[in-house]
Structure 1
């Protein structure tokens, strides 16, 4: 059996924590917590309902929300669609203006373009040289008819961290709603929705050691009456998202968020140390450049560009699991829209890799990855000729 590659693609997805798997499995099978939490009044349904509400409280606790502000979805993509389309449709889709950026996830960009085709004006902000969207850029883009601003907390390719509280203050002063895609930020950034001027925030379980296929949308007080459901058929989740709730996935997401809350400081410090160990060694390679702000970022994600002739990516294909682009670009095999917006040309984007660390990364993984990457650089001349 071939040796498994080193895993450095946590930003794409995380393995489910064994502790999360345990609580998830307990919701399956006849002897488990399998009842319908949405409509059954008997013991089995009520038991499932209690578990769902406990999970809702666990998700809320990590991000400073209240449980009733958390709406279950199938993941951050659906949450993003519900936020953007839901706000636009609730106000009447004709006209109006929204603001996003050129470096958002495709779940935002593709949805914004659909709204644009339907008659909504959209401004796509250009990031600064550090890969950040500044409060000033948002302020300058605001119009009298701006009704929604949607920006990432953490960029999925760069790891850069926007100043969401400052941007939110600008948006709130102008009377628009503020949506934040926090799929890459939950559990890595201290989020406080009780204080932050944010109206909608998207989350995903599989970025935080939970299963795929489950996520949530935070709906704050200002957004509750300004959001239209996208999935109908029973009026579940306060009328915002119909469908039988997947107890096993929801309980798993709650467990994953609770584990992240309990280990937040320790895990962040550990990954910070590992990131410094990795980055210090990689930046010693001639021609290697870190993309995005060195200061305003999470420690988990690195985007590195190699000089032409200095890197042979094929040499790593069986030894390290990394990403040459984000998951939303890989299907089309096109250069990263994030890197292009940052000013890189297509060739430079093609010489860029994303390395992302996580809960199960070890010092041994770091040192082995460095040696493999240095070896790939040593073999580069033959590759590029």
Structure 2
């Protein structure tokens, strides 16, 4: 006996990936319903070899459904998630709305699976920010071995993290660069993204950091360890899919780079590609459509007593969003919603 699953926001980048991954991983679903806003009503979306027509989320009755994967943004989630939860359907939310709520578990299954038991407080589980998800997958096995004191991370984040309109803007600006008179002014971003990098994601806070940088700090502490100090600089780059991160880690005790490499090779959800030769590392273009978080450029940081540097790359629409949500659903099924 399988589960009855709802995907809310099924016509967006992340919603479509959720449907793809549910099918790819053969999630045990007896029924899958695709929901969207009224303006997208009837839009066809793919689910494996099936085609689903979207239904209107407004007024949808979640009663009898087991799991709802939400990819609709914070404002609609604020309205619809409590409705679904009150009707007995467990919500796995991809927005930032519930991530910092102490009564809502924030889950990366490879990192803090036991926290899922807390879902019963609100019948809601939060999915972390895309840049955080891949980072903590890399940090967790190293933290277990040598205890992390501080992390300094610079991100190189793909435009797909800002949605389909952002991807279109990069595409149109790139074309416009080579066609006189067809230049495209920035709309989704604060400056032109084509052939450029923008050190600004989300709004600025009083201390000069951006909310994206604050999210990485707050979420890493909640998921992994509140004692870890983390500082981030988040940058948007002209890449369609795939977030990259340059990570500097300071440990409480010495960790040799070879041992770090061996630990990461055995870690769940991680693949190490680390050869000290031309092309012996992974780039975002190579990870599109992949499940794993890829680690390269592992090396000692000689400027501090117990330091390691590494390069971390993942498909942000997958591990950073849709895949992690489906993995949470799988974990929920194994531990809490057993059927049959």
Give the TM-score normalised by the residue count of structure 1. Answer: 0.29
Q: Which one has a bigger Cα radius of gyration? A: 1
> Which one has the bigger strand percentage?
2
Looking at secondary structure, tell me which structure has more helix per residue.
Answer: 1
TM-score of the aligned structures, taking structure 2 as reference length: 0.32
